[in-house]
Amino acid sequence: MLLIADLGAAPQSSSALWLMASLLPLSLLLWWLAVRLLWRLNMWHRVEQSTQQSLLELFMFTPAKRLMLYWLLLLLLLHGLALLLLPWSLQLPLLLLSVFLPRRLFGYLWRRRQQLLQQQLPRYLLSLAGAMRSGSSLTLAIQQQQPGLLKPLQQEIGLLLQQVRYGKGWQAALQALAARAPSDCMMMFVHTAMLGQRYGGQQAPVFEQLANTLEQRLAMFQRQQSLTAQARLQGQLLFAIPFLLAAALWWIQPEHIGLLWQHRIGQCLLALCVILMLLGRWLMQRMIEDGRG
């Protein structure tokens, strides 16, 4: 009887493998048709331009078309492996994660760059004020202090000076700097420099006072971060606990946790749980960002 059962189960498993193997080229074909449709609707060019602009803001000069092509190939590979190895309840969250991951990554890198700019700006203003007290003009002080800066402020000031050397006016170059780094700290520096270029006057005391103000704001922001660190850590732990418990249960009793993707009801519950967890993570992130603002 056991031999007959094994012989009966073998064709079923082989047919399931053939079914999954036939779905793989179908999914690749659907991906190719989706890319062609985006190309026809001119959406591909808009996405490419937006990606290229995001890369330039991070001072990454990789061609966006090549980067997007590599990412699409990686998505095709991951989606094909998901069709063969994962249940459908996990394929949709994985697909959504892979689609929205580049945007989240660019957002994280951009916010990190803006934070570094805000941290480096007060000390740079003090160095400008010292150079101007020694008799240098604002233009000469900016040129003298640029080589000793750290990234990313060195890159921004270097691009500012490069635009001025290529014929762009100081007012337009400073406005472009404010557009690349749209923070309150950078806007204060840009407006102060524009007023100094337009009307002249003693700018060294103004830069010193502005540097002290920015240092106080930075200290308050760091204090706020330290006060909310526990809440942010609790949110991250709450998000990670279900995955850790699922891994522990899979290690201890795999036949019980396997019901989540072996039966239709378990797959629906698993998909609902993943969607609700991602929604909760997004809401916590929005509350943290609103608290910072």
Percentage of the chain beyond pLDDT 90 is: 0
Does any domain span residue 162?
yes
Does any domain span residue 219?
yes
Alpha-carbon distance 28 to 41, whole Å? 20
Q: Which residue among 175, 198, 226 closes a domain? A: 226
Provide mean pLDDT across the span 80-95.
Answer: 67
Query: Do 168 and 213 reside in the same domain of the chain?
Result: yes
* Domain of residue 197, residue span: 115-226
Cis peptide leading into 147, omega within 30 of 0? no
Q: Where are the beta strands (DSSP E) in 14-155?
A: none
- Grade residue 125 by pLDDT with cuts at 50, 70 and 90: confident
Does any domain span residue 252?
yes
Provide the 8-state DSSP code for 136: -
Total-model pTM: 0.62
Does any domain span residue 246?
yes
Alpha-carbon distance 123 to 139, whole Å? 18
Q: 117-121, 222-226, 250-254: which has the highest mean pLDDT?
A: 117-121
Percentage of the chain beyond pLDDT 70 is: 68
Contact assessment for residue 122 and residue 104, using Cβ atoms and an 8 Å cutoff: no
Query: Do 125 and 215 reside in the same domain of the chain?
Result: yes
Q: Which residue among 226, 252, 268 closes a domain? A: 226
Alpha-carbon distance 93 to 267, whole Å? 12
Count: domains in the chain:
2
Query: Is residue 211 over pLDDT 60?
Result: yes
Q: Which residue among 192, 226, 260 closes a domain? A: 226
Provide mean pLDDT across the span 94-101.
Answer: 71
